């Protein structure tokens, strides 16, 4: 069941916290490792209410990893992410309800793998991690896109998106199926 932030007594109608600096965003000694690779290595920062903060860096610098941790989609290896009185690492449901993700216009979803893009939609809507993983796997299987689930979401254009068709022999096949010698794009 999704957590309804608006109904929580510690948040509902509490504009005084924001106007008095209570909604400071703080990252404290945040590290995220993927095996031996440190995508984020001991990051600390603080953003006060009313400030605008930008993440700049080359591809692979860890910007998306930091954002995914902030919005509750990825658990850090160590460290804290605090928004106001909420520990977003300990309470990823609050993270998903208090934080929004608006990617750059020129790369709306290609920063995610296909399976991550599907999971993002489920997590934003408040489903549990286990439910999202289960339903993502079922959807990937139903759409027969398993071979692309770890690919970037953007490249799945018309030429790569599988098209299921039922042939005269009653066998469903994906467009581009090697069993069809007469296939056309």
Query: What count of other Cβ atoms lies within 10 Å of the Cβ of residue 168?
Result: 5
Q: What is the pLDDT of residue 11?
A: 45
Closest CA to 162 of 177, 180, 150, 182: 177
Dmax (CA) of the chain: 70
Tens of pLDDT, residue by residue over 146-185, are: 888 887 765 545 444 444 444 444 454 444 444 444 444 4
Separation of alpha carbons 136 and 116, rounded Å: 9
Model confidence band, residue 65 (pLDDT cutoffs 50, 70, 90): very high
CATH code of residue 18: 3.40.50.300
Q: Bigger pLDDT: 19 or 111? A: 111
Q: Bigger pLDDT: 21 or 8? A: 21
Give helix 114-124 / helix 129-143 axis angle, nearest 10°: 130
Model confidence band, residue 122 (pLDDT cutoffs 50, 70, 90): confident
Q: Is the pLDDT of residue 66 over 80?
A: yes
Separation of alpha carbons 84 and 10, rounded Å: 11
Question: What's the structural domain count of the chain?
Answer: 1
Range of the domain at 17: 5-101
120 is a domain residue: no
Q: Indicate the pTM of the whole model.
A: 0.52
CA-to-CA separations, 36 to 33, 52, 62, in angstroms, rounded:
6, 32, 14
State percent of the chain over pLDDT 70. 66
Query: What count of other Cβ atoms lies within 10 Å of the Cβ of residue 164?
Result: 12
Q: How far is CA 61 from the centre of its chain?
A: 17
41 is a domain residue: yes
165 is a domain residue: no
149 is a domain residue: no
Q: What is the pLDDT of residue 163?
A: 47
């Amino acid at each position: 069941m999704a957590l309804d932030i608006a109904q929580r007594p510690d948040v509902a109608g509490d504009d005084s916290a924001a106007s008095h600096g209570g909604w400071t965003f703080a990252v404290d000694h945040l590290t995220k490792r993927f095996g031996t690779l440190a995508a984020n290595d001991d990051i600390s920062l603080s953003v006060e209410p009313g400030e605008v903060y930008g993440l700049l860096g080359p591809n692979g610098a860890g910007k998306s990893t930091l954002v995914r941790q902030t919005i509750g989609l990825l658990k850090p290896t160590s460290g804290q992410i605090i928004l106001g009185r909420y520990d977003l690492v300990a309470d990823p449901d609050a993270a998903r309800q208090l934080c929004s993700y608006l990617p750059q216009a020129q790369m709306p979803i290609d920063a995610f793998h296909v399976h991550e893009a599907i999971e993002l939609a489920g997590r934003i809507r408040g489903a549990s991690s286990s439910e999202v993983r289960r339903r993502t796997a079922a959807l990937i299987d139903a759409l027969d896109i398993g071979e692309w689930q770890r690919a970037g979401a953007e490249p799945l254009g018309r030429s790569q998106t599988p098209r299921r068709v039922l042939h005269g022999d009653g066998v469903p096949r994906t467009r581009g199926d090697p069993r069809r010698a007469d296939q056309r794009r």
